[in-house]
């Protein structure tokens, strides 16, 4: 399923190295991932989430706070029974690991730190045997044409043209995004004005190439201790947008209750 990010020909795995017909080669790291994010596609030295954000998200998700979303995503994919899944913007692999019941999965993220964390976490596990971890960009997916049954993008960009290219003719796209009132109580503490999220915009943006199939809303009431609250702030874009004094005040709380609310959309390639 992987292709060379330079010449776009098929990659073949020989031992611990992927090689294309033009002799471009990419080694599997000791942690078990392959880096297909070539310099030609880089806009910065360290793209994607910061190491601090990655580790904060890893700790927070390990607490099970977003498990209802993870379970729903896994159930949807199980019911579709794909043989191949591409998880775009997979991060440290929390959701990706739930996609492997019936499929071979590629977990792809532009952040090398995130992929390193994912590959280390699931190395030498039964789940890890079904996942290929790739450092790469969604803007130029290192994936062959029409070879993927389902693309997933959970809180990640939606490279529409590239997803259409790699999906099979009857392939699906599964999107998870914040619902209008997601983390509203937390956002009230961080910002002077809080605007509801607009998840439905994706339906219009993906049309007409993708046909809307179904929508789910998943809610989870969270009771956070100080560490979990700090991690939640650090793993979201709010940490960059909020004023320091507001973040400091919120992080000082020993306990905080907030509702997480997600919209999950299923689309089919038209």
- For the chain, domains (ranges, CATH) are 12-269 (3.40.50.150)
167 in Cβ contact with 1 (< 8 Å): no
Lowest-confidence pick of 33-47, 51-65, 156-170: 33-47
Residues pairing with 18 in the sheet: 13, 26
Residue list for the binding site: 4, 7, 20, 24, 66, 92-93, 182
Which residues, listed in sequence order, are joined to residue 266 by a DSSP beta bridge? 174, 214
Relative to beta strand 167-178, strand 131-135 is unpaired
Alpha-carbon gap, residue 71 to 89, rounded angstroms: 18
Query: For the chain, how many helices (H) and strands (E)?
Result: 9, 11
Q: DSSP letters of 24-70? A: -EEEBPTTSEEE---GGG-SSSS-SS-HHHHHHHHHHHHTTTTHHHH
Contacts of 254 (CB under 8 A, 6+ apart): 225, 226
Q: Known binding site for Zn(2+): residues?
A: 4, 7, 20, 24
**Does residue 115 register a pLDDT over 80?**
yes
Q: Residue 47's pLDDT band (boundaries 50, 70, 90)?
A: low
pLDDT digits (tens, 9 = 90+) for 248-269: 999 999 999 999 999 999 999 9
| pLDDT above 60: residue 84 | yes
What burial class does residue 254 get, using C-beta atoms within 10 Å of its C-beta: 0-12 exposed, 13-18 middle, 19+ buried?
A: exposed
pTM: 0.94
- Which DSSP helix (H) or strand (E) runs through 73? helix 67-80
Report pLDDT for 101: 86
Q: What is the pLDDT of residue 213?
A: 97
| Structure tokens belonging to residue 221 | 């009431």
Rounded to the nearest integer, the mean pLDDT of the chain is 94
Per DSSP (E only), the strands in 160-209 are 167-178
Peptide bond into 208 cis (omega under 30): yes
| Residues in binding site for S-adenosyl-L-methionine | 66, 92-93, 182
């Amino acid at each position: 399923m992987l292709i060379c990010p330079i010449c776009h020909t098929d990659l073949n795995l020989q031992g611990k190295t992927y090689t294309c017909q033009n002799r471009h080669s990419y080694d599997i790291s000791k942690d078990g991932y392959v880096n297909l994010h070539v310099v030609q596609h880089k806009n910065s030295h360290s793209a994607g989430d910061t190491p601090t954000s990655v580790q904060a998200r890893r700790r927070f998700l390990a607490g099970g706070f977003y498990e209802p979303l993870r379970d729903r995503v896994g159930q949807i994919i199980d019911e579709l029974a794909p043989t191949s899944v591409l998880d775009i913007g997979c991060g440290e692999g929390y959701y990706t690991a739930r996609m492997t019941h019936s499929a071979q999965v590629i977990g792809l993220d532009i952040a090398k730190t995130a992929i390193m964390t994912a590959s280390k976490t699931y190395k030498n596990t039964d789940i890890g045997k079904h996942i290929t971890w790739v450092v790469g960009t969604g803007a130029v997916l290192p994936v062959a044409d029409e070879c993927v049954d389902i693309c997933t993008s959970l809180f990640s960009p939606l490279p529409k043209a590239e997803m259409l290219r790699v999906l099979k003719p009857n392939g699906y796209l599964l999107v998870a995004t914040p619902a209008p009132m997601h983390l509203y109580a937390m956002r009230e503490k961080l910002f002077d004005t809080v605007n509801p999220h607009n998840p439905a915009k994706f339906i219009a943006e993906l049309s007409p190439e993708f046909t809307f199939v179904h929508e789910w809303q998943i809610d989870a009431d969270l009771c956070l201790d100080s560490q979990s609250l700090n991690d939640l702030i650090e793993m979201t874009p709010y940490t960059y947008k909020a004023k320091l004094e507001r973040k400091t005040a919120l992080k000082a709380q020993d306990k905080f209750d907030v509702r997480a609310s997600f919209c999950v959309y299923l689309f089919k390639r038209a």
